[in-house]
Amino acid sequence: MKQLNIIIAPLLALFISIGNSATPDQLLSSGKSKLSNGELEEALVDFELALDQNDQFTPAMMELAQLQLRLGDMEKSQMYLRKAVDVDYDQFKTEFDRFNDINIKMSDGGRAMKNGEFENAFTFYEEVVKEFPNFTEAVYSMGLAKFRVRDFSASVKLFRQALDLNPNHNNARTAIENVVKNTFNEGNNSYRRGNLEKAMEAYYQVLEYDPAFIKAHYQIGVIEAKRGNLDIAIKAYTNAIDTDSTFYIGWFALGLAQNKYGNKAEALASFQQAVTIHPGYAKAYSSMGDIYIQNKDYESAVEVLKTAIAVDENYAKPYISLGAIYIDADSLDLAVTYLEKGTSLNPKDASAWVRLASAHNHLGNCDSAKEAAREATDRKKRFGAGWYELGIAEWCKGRGSKTAALNALEKARDDRSWRQMSEYEIDRIKNPEKYEE
């Protein structure tokens, strides 16, 4: 109420001259009109001004009693009812007694809550609300009782009802936020356990509670993208950024989904939006580089990949992508430099090790090529590309081990994608005379 008084004081000062010229009936009518429009503080000012004009004006007292209940101040509500009784005992004594009865029921509800009797507490509060539908605290307390028995849907509805009655009810707002966060965390736990259906159920429940909760939209997009439902994922990411256009992670995820969907131009635009919002977001620059590589726009690719490195020198992907570009451009020393850095930052990337092995093989660095290729095959035992590069390195243009080379190439041959190239190299090693110029 302290905050409310801070708001009301200047309003009283502002409207005092108006109040002095208006009749109590006019102020009463004005207050009721404002009350119906949800202007609670303004209505409170009018009712108090009406009472200032006529301290025996019981209609204003009754409106103030109801409004103070709505604002959560039972003491002031009781005070105005007592004033009304003092003016007209016969007319308002019943209402005063009825108010005292809800005081008892609220106390009974509070005791039941403390004793863990949440259903009984709900019943007490519900009886109060039937008597005084605008009693915000009773509605809020009903929500708390439902929250304690984990009926979150019912609790959120009641908390929202409390907020409709009093938009300044911060406890109700916080309670809704807690339900949303708890439900979202349950979804995340299910997601981490691999239970995607349970996770999705929780995320959609979050959106029932709070349609503007962007992380729930985002997580739905992540799961749908994993499932290959890119159109649904794109819609979910779009919902997230429509709610908060500065959600750069949402723009990035949208770009990834659009790229997989084949919309490269839209993906580039989304990645660009991500880095406009967060200029230090290396992942978005790197993903832009991948699209430029696909489009064979190597100049643009090099530019954004180097930007990615500039903003985050510990992010492996742009180094690896630059290495691939320089292999294709036959700038092998540069390729080795970037790929060595990339693999040092992300040693789990088997494809990067293959590229590094390939660059070393082209340079004739057979020992370095073998080392890189073995890193690849250690991480992916049936990775034909790794075994192929190991075979080339072991043979080392006839200076190495024929047996080791053939053994590696036979393993590469088991990978259908590398069968033809492996068979060609096997034949070159076994029948070198066929390939002599």
User: Helix 264-277 to helix 248-260 angle, to the nearest 10 degrees?
Assistant: 170
Joined tokens for residue 427: 């034949």
Choice between 7 and 421, residue whose per-residue pLDDT is larger:
421
| Under 8 Å between Cβ of 237 and 221 | yes
- Mean pLDDT over residues 318-338, rounded? 96
Percent of the chain past pLDDT 70, that is, above it, reads 95
The CA R_g of the chain, rounded to the nearest whole Å, is 36
pLDDT at 437: 59
| Span 33-61, pLDDT tens digits | 888 888 888 888 888 898 888 888 888 88
- Mean pLDDT over residues 191-203, rounded? 96
Compute CA distances 382 → 370, 375, 424, whole Å.
Answer: 16, 13, 19
Rounded to whole angstroms, how far apart are CA atoms 275 and 279?
A: 4
Pick from 368, 307, 289: which is nearest to 332 by CA? 368
Greatest C-alpha distance within the chain: 122
pLDDT at 105: 86
Pick from 211, 212, 236, 209: which is nearest to 222 by CA? 236
Joined tokens for residue 183: 């439900």
pLDDT at 111: 94
State the chain's mean pLDDT as an integer.
Answer: 90
Rounded to whole angstroms, how far apart are CA atoms 413 and 116?
A: 69
State the pTM of this model: 0.76
3-state secondary structure 244-302: CCCCHHHHHHHHHHHHHCCCHHHHHHHHHHHHHHCCCCHHHHHHHHHHHHHCCCHHHHH
| Span 351-362, pLDDT tens digits | 999 999 999 999
Q: How confident is the model at residue 16 (pLDDT cuts 50, 70, 90)?
A: very low
Q: How confident is the model at residue 365 (pLDDT cuts 50, 70, 90)?
A: very high
Compute CA distances 62 → 45, 67, 75, 84, 319, whole Å.
Answer: 14, 9, 14, 7, 74
| Span 89-123, pLDDT tens digits | 777 777 777 777 888 888 899 999 999 999 999 99
| Span 282-327, pLDDT tens digits | 999 999 999 999 999 999 999 999 999 999 999 999 999 999 999 9
- Mean pLDDT over residues 169-181, rounded? 93
Q: Name residues whose C-beta falls within 8 Å of residue 353's C-beta, 6 or more positions apart in sequence.
A: 343, 372, 373, 375, 376, 379, 386
Q: Residue 80 above 90 pLDDT?
A: no
Rounded to whole angstroms, how far apart are CA atoms 270 and 273?
A: 5
Compute CA distances 85 → 47, 58, 185, 270, whole Å.
Answer: 18, 9, 52, 67
Q: Name residues whose C-beta falls within 8 Å of residue 85's C-beta, 6 or more positions apart in sequence.
A: 92, 93, 96
pLDDT at 381: 93
- Mean pLDDT over residues 220-236, rounded? 96
Mean pLDDT check: name the lowest of 40-49, 71-80, 151-160, 177-186.
Answer: 71-80
| Under 8 Å between Cβ of 42 and 207 | no
pLDDT at 17: 46
Please spell the DSSP secondary structure of 196-237, one letter per residue: HHHHHHHHHHHHHH-TT-HHHHHHHHHHHHHTT-HHHHHHHH
Q: How confident is the model at residue 15 (pLDDT cuts 50, 70, 90)?
A: very low
Long-range contacts of range 243-251, CB-CB < 8 Å, 24 or more positions apart?
Answer: 243/212, 243/214, 243/217, 244/214, 246/277, 247/214, 247/218, 248/273, 248/274, 248/275, 248/277, 248/278, 248/281, 248/284, 249/218, 249/274, 250/214, 250/217, 250/218, 250/221, 251/277, 251/284
Q: How confident is the model at residue 20 (pLDDT cuts 50, 70, 90)?
A: low
Q: Which amino acid would we find at residue 284?
A: A
Mean pLDDT check: name the lowest of 40-54, 177-191, 241-255, 322-336.
Answer: 40-54
Choice between 5 and 63, residue whose per-residue pLDDT is larger:
63
pLDDT at 1: 45
pLDDT at 330: 94
